A and B are shown apart, each in its own frame.
Chain A
């Protein structure tokens, strides 16, 4: 295993100003066509400039994000809710798992399991917060799946916890809603589509390799989906919201594709 402190884009020192990219998605969807045409025209010219340290013009940025939004639609169509990700033998499990976050492992903020509650909001009938003991009493599932990072590396991990789909049905969530949003103790908001939330290999994981999740890997509860890239699996979840309103996650605000299905 490589050093836990390896330099990665998830520790990127210089990222585009979030304020610049924030909340432009609905606007982008509206100007999709115009942006595409304009962007297409500048595309050829920009290719020639690829070598120079120029800032991508806003029109090109908008066109690229419009295509990314289009790719969300294509990926939702490609996603087969019945298709299971390959699973692996326990001998292939990496222990401990690989740490990766937008912050350094030294900056992990510990969560107190006793006072921790899972809050529920949005299109959910039973919004009473859940304690860790209540979560632990739910039927669990275990899966040994491949974690694939958007950067290109991967490892096999063994996760267990209640399936998110079962949990959503238990609390009376509107499963026809579009999105399930997550809010976390490490300020890493994230959102996934309902189809992925209901996939049998999408878990609210509480344990790794049979043991309680360690703090850096998302104690006490994290999302673990077998059908999305690593960054779509928020750690230390404190609230779940079911909604029809799109909310870009931490990395989506910085330019990564939202659906990011695998």
Chain B
């Protein structure tokens, strides 16, 4: 056995398919969150918490439901291809892992000292990596809990996993809160470092393609 390394030239930090999926996901997420707020108001989970009319997609619950159950297709289909892309091209492994504990502590310490270094767009710090992993898991969780709420009899096994119908609603609500929390940080940081926003539109700097290690029998 011998390991052969093949040089493969350069590519954009964010290849075109990834950029398309990112922006489709942005639309899907905004549709799902704001229409979800419209549905939530008819049977609140946290007493006293209502979402203002101006924040909701759909003029009343029926319309918000139409949006939510249409937006779910965009979210699911686009999300499926995003996961497939990340796994097949090795992007997840390359960009998001490993996440070192020491690295994590250092980044948090730097941030607290207001040292937010972002000179190199091509490297994610540990906190960034962690946030991306968490939001991807939250997205998957939203689809699973969403299915449980949409079809609690057909997927009754899924419902019991969340401790019943109201449990599934609660986890679905908390998943939304995690994603909204991520969005606030994500959008704020991209506005603080506008080059990152531009990179997600135009592709960003060229980087060497990841070296492929292929094992060949000799």
A257 at the interface (CB under 8 A from B): yes
Q: Count of B residues near A, CB < 8 Å?
A: 34
Q: Which residues on the A side are within 8 Å of B43 (C-beta)?
A: 149, 151-153
A177 at the interface (CB under 8 A from B): no
Could you say which of A251, A256, A257, A262 has the most chain B C-beta atoms within 10 Å of its C-beta? A262
Q: Which residues on the B side are within 8 Å of A67 (C-beta)?
A: 66, 69-70, 73
Q: Residue A50 contacts which of B56, B60, B65, B150 (CB distance < 8 angstroms)?
A: B56
How near does chain A come to B170, taking the closest CB pair, in angstroms? 11
How near does chain B come to A153, taking the closest CB pair, in angstroms? 5
How near does chain B come to A55, taking the closest CB pair, in angstroms? 7
Given A146-B165, A227-B153, are A9 and B30 neighbors across the interface (CB < 8 Å)? no
Which residues of A62-84 have CB atoms within 8 Å of chain B's CB atoms?
63-65, 67-68, 71, 75, 78-80, 83
Cβ-defined contact, B65 with A56, below 8 A: no
A52–B150 CA distance with the chains assembled, in angstroms: 28
Which residues of B173-197 have CB atoms within 8 Å of chain A's CB atoms?
none
A8 at the interface (CB under 8 A from B): yes
A154–B168 CA distance with the chains assembled, in angstroms: 13
Cβ-defined contact, A12 with B154, below 8 A: no
Q: Residue A71 contacts which of B59, B63, B69 (CB distance < 8 angstroms)?
A: B69
Q: Which residues on the A side are within 8 Å of B30 (C-beta)?
A: 47, 50
Q: Chain B 138-179 against A: per-residue CB contact (8 Å), 1 yes, 0 no? A: 000000000000111110100000000110010000000000
Cβ-defined contact, A148 with B152, below 8 A: yes
Q: Which residues on the B side are within 8 Å of A15 (C-beta)?
A: 60, 62
Cβ-defined contact, B40 with A68, below 8 A: no
Q: Chain A 106-122 against B: per-residue CB contact (8 Å), 1 yes, 0 no? A: 00000000000000000
A80–B157 CA distance with the chains assembled, in angstroms: 14
A200 at the interface (CB under 8 A from B): no
B55 at the interface (CB under 8 A from A): yes
Q: Which residues on the A side are within 8 Å of B67 (C-beta)?
A: 64
Counting from the closest, the 6 A-B pairs by CB-CB distance are: A152-B43, A255-B62, A151-B42, A67-B70, A64-B66, A85-B153
What are 21 inter-chain pairs, A to B, with CB distance below 8 A?
Answer: A15-B62, A16-B59, A47-B30, A47-B34, A50-B55, A67-B73, A68-B66, A68-B69, A78-B154, A79-B154, A83-B153, A83-B154, A85-B153, A146-B165, A148-B152, A151-B61, A152-B42, A153-B43, A261-B153, A261-B154, A262-B152
Seed contacts A47-B27, A55-B59; 10 additional CB < 8 Å A-B pairs: A47-B30, A47-B57, A52-B54, A53-B59, A56-B59, A56-B63, A150-B65, A154-B165, A227-B154, A254-B62
List residues of B whose CB falls within 8 A of some A CB.
27, 30-31, 34, 39-40, 42-43, 53-63, 65-67, 69-70, 73, 150-154, 156, 165-166, 169
List residues of A whose CB falls within 8 A of some B CB.
8-9, 12, 14-16, 43-44, 47, 50-53, 55-56, 63-65, 67-68, 71, 75, 78-80, 83, 85-86, 146, 148-154, 226-227, 251, 254-257, 261-262
